[in-house]
């Protein structure tokens, strides 16, 4: 990371941007803390050790949460009635209880007094086992990094594998690591974010990606540990904690020692039409898991630029980064865990497009000096001309090293043509390696003039971001109320999302997938996972 900023921003404006982001985010956090979701409750039972699925692939954790919800509701949390049933000897263990619940052969009640206290103590003890497993996995990562070492230079080289079959993903991931990749991202099967359950076991039939499952996580992590020993550096593993099962996948990632997770505060809302409240409740819990596990999150601001113009909408990327930073830190994440996203997506036909890309990248680097920013390659303007695409990726790689990005996703010259072959990935890695070797130290000599195009553009984007945050925090709720809109009763940020402020997608807070899985907490709500995560306790 740079010891001093490469561009000069108005310090008062930077403080105003963060103050406004906090002002926009705080009401959303307050709303999120009053709700739970079916996925939060399922994640808690997974931390308590519940695994497996029935013969049709439906997880036992889904059966158990659904049964408790149908009989007594989830407003008090799932663990109190579940562990009360175990104390009453309705079943000898969680999996047997879940199996009995699937056949409607167990009755759940909400205990009171000493019975409730005893059930909650038992629940906390069980969930604490999962939390301690996450702690051990974090310690193992730190030990392996000390043993094998980190990459010799930044940005870390981030490469995607996505065959749909975990058995094919593994050799491709290992080959990529041998060729120079530092981070392997296993792309998730198309549509998994909309499944309200996590598939079980190793999978071999994904679509444009491989299903995120605990077993797939375990298999890939073990394979990359072997390759880390071979290549002499720790290879990091990435997957996706997003969608309707965001909390559960975060928990599984912590249990199986993944190192990075895609985890954006608004991506599921905007691009998967998942209910905003469901998303914010789930992302807060998932980020608490990531904080405890030492996982770096990757946010998804690059997606805004696939639907909106990268110049006109540049300030919305900055606003989203500031909001993601606020939500992440509120959940306990540190600066080094904030892989805030942005992308090289300006139309290359625009005059000075490369200078504008540098301005946007330097703005992010200066605003978030201690965050490992995730720099995304061109996709929107890849035409199928592989020679032009290879050159454009070279410019992207140069911008990444010149501006001190932390995580560089390798661009493919066959983007928009075919799913890349291993040979395509090898050529792409050669492109990155050449640029980093030839120009890795160039940033020491790069000092854009204070009043030149780059610095002027960066300051203009920041000013637009502050203006947008001011509109969100002051005008949005009032405008909704004046129009008699239903979302006027919600925090102003949710009203802004409903208006299509980000990525041109309009997502009302009272609609969207997964809304039926949101539950208002009762005064007696208890969740031992949340308690352990927020207090830092281990028992």
Q: Which residues are catalytic?
A: 267, 302, 374
DSSP string, 341-370: EEE--S-TTSTTHHHHHHHHHHHHHHHSTT
Residue 142 sits at φ, ψ, to 5 deg, of -60, -40
**Are 345 and 310 contacting, i.e. CB atoms less than 8 angstroms apart?**
yes
Report how far residue 448's alpha carbon sits from residue 450's, in angstroms, rounded to the nearest whole number. Answer: 6
Question: Which of 153, 164, 256 lies closest to 214, judged by CA?
Answer: 256
| Residue 52 tokens, joined | 């497996």
Q: Hunting for tokens 């949340």 — which residue is that?
A: 530
Half-sphere exposure (CA, 13 Å, Cβ side) for 533? 27
Report how far residue 513's alpha carbon sits from residue 511's, in angstroms, rounded to the nearest whole number. Answer: 7
Category of 156 on φ-ψ map: left (φ > 0), alpha (ψ -120 to 50) or beta: beta
Residues 265, 432, 310: CA angle, nearest 5 degrees: 40
**Are 492 and 87 contacting, i.e. CB atoms less than 8 angstroms apart?**
no
**Are 49 and 130 contacting, i.e. CB atoms less than 8 angstroms apart?**
yes
Alpha carbon distances (Å) from 272 to 276, 279, 288: 11, 11, 23
Residue 13 sits at φ, ψ, to 5 deg, of -70, -40
Q: Hunting for tokens 């103590």 — which residue is that?
A: 121
H or E element in which residue 409 lies? strand 407-409
Report how far residue 242's alpha carbon sits from residue 514's, in angstroms, rounded to the nearest whole number. Answer: 13
**Are 292 and 134 contacting, i.e. CB atoms less than 8 angstroms apart?**
yes
Report how far residue 43's alpha carbon sits from residue 370's, in angstroms, rounded to the nearest whole number. Answer: 31
Q: Report CA dihedral (427, 431, 436, 437) to the nearest 10 degrees.
A: 80
Helices within 294-421 (DSSP H only): 304-307, 314-330, 353-367, 386-402
Q: Residue-wise over 485-522: b if at least 16 C-beta within 10 A, else e?
A: bebbebbbbbbbbbbebbbebebbbeebbbeebbbebe
Question: Which of 410, 309, 325, 428 lies closest to 360, judged by CA?
Answer: 309
**Are 171 and 395 contacting, i.e. CB atoms less than 8 angstroms apart?**
no
């Amino acid at each position: 990371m740079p010891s001093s900023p490469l561009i000069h921003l108005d310090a008062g404006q930077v403080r105003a941007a963060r103050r406004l982001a906090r002002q926009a985010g705080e009401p959303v956090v307050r709303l999120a803390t009053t709700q739970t979701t079916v996925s939060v409750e399922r994640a808690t039972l997974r931390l308590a050790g519940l695994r497996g699925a029935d013969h049709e692939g439906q997880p036992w954790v889904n059966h158990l949460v659904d049964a408790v919800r149908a009989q007594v509701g989830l407003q008090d949390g799932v663990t109190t009635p579940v562990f009360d049933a175990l104390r009453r000897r309705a079943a000898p263990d969680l999996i047997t209880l879940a199996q009995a619940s699937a056949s409607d052969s167990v009755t759940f009640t909400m205990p009171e007094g000493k019975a409730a206290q005893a059930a909650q103590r038992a629940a906390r003890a069980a969930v604490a086992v999962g939390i301690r497993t996450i702690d051990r996995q974090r310690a193992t990562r730190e030990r392996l990094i000390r043993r094998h070492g980190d990459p010799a230079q930044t940005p870390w080289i981030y490469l995607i594998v996505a065959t749909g079959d975990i058995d094919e993903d593994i050799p491709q991931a290992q080959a990529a690591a041998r060729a120079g990749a530092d981070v392997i991202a296993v792309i998730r099967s198309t549509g998994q974010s909309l499944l309200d359950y996590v598939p079980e076991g190793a999978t071999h039939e994904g679509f444009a990606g491989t299903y995120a499952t605990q077993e797939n996580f375990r298999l890939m992590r073990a394979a990359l540990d072997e390759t880390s020993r071979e290549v002499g550096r720790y290879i990091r593993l990435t997957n996706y904690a997003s969608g309707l099962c965001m909390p559960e996948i975060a928990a599984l990632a912590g249990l199986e020692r993944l190192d990075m997770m895609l985890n954006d505060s608004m991506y599921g809302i905007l691009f998967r039409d998942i209910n905003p409240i469901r998303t914010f409740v789930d992302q807060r819990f998932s980020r608490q898991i990531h904080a405890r596990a030492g996982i770096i999150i990757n946010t998804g601001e690059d997606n805004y630029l696939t639907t909106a113009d990268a110049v006109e909408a540049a300030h919305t990327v900055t606003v989203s980064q500031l909001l993601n930073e606020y939500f992440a830190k509120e959940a306990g994440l540190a600066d080094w865990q904030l892989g805030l996203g942005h992308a090289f997506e300006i139309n290359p036909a625009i005059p000075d497009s490369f200078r504008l890309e540098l301005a946007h990248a330097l703005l992010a680097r200066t605003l978030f000096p201690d965050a490992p920013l995730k720099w995304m390659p061109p996709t929107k303007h890849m035409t199928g001309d592989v020679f032009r695409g290879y050159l454009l990726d070279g410019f992207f790689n140069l911008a990444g090293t010149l501006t001190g990005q932390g995580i560089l996703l390798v661009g493919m010259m066959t983007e928009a043509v075919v799913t890349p072959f291993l040979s395509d990935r090898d050529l792409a890695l050669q492109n990155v390696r050449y640029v980093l070797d030839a120009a890795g130290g160039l940033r020491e000599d790069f000092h854009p003039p204070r009043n030149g195009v780059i610095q002027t553009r960066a300051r203009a984007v920041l000013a637009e971001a502050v203006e947008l945050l001011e509109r969100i925090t002051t005008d949005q709720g009032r405008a909704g109320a004046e129009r008699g809109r239903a979302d006027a009763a919600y925090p102003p940020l949710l009203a802004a999302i409903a208006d299509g402020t980000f990525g041109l997608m309009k997502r009302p807070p009272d609609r969207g997938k997964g809304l039926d899985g949101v539950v208002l907490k009762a005064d007696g709500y208890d969740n031992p996972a949340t308690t352990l995560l927020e207090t830092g306790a281990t028992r």
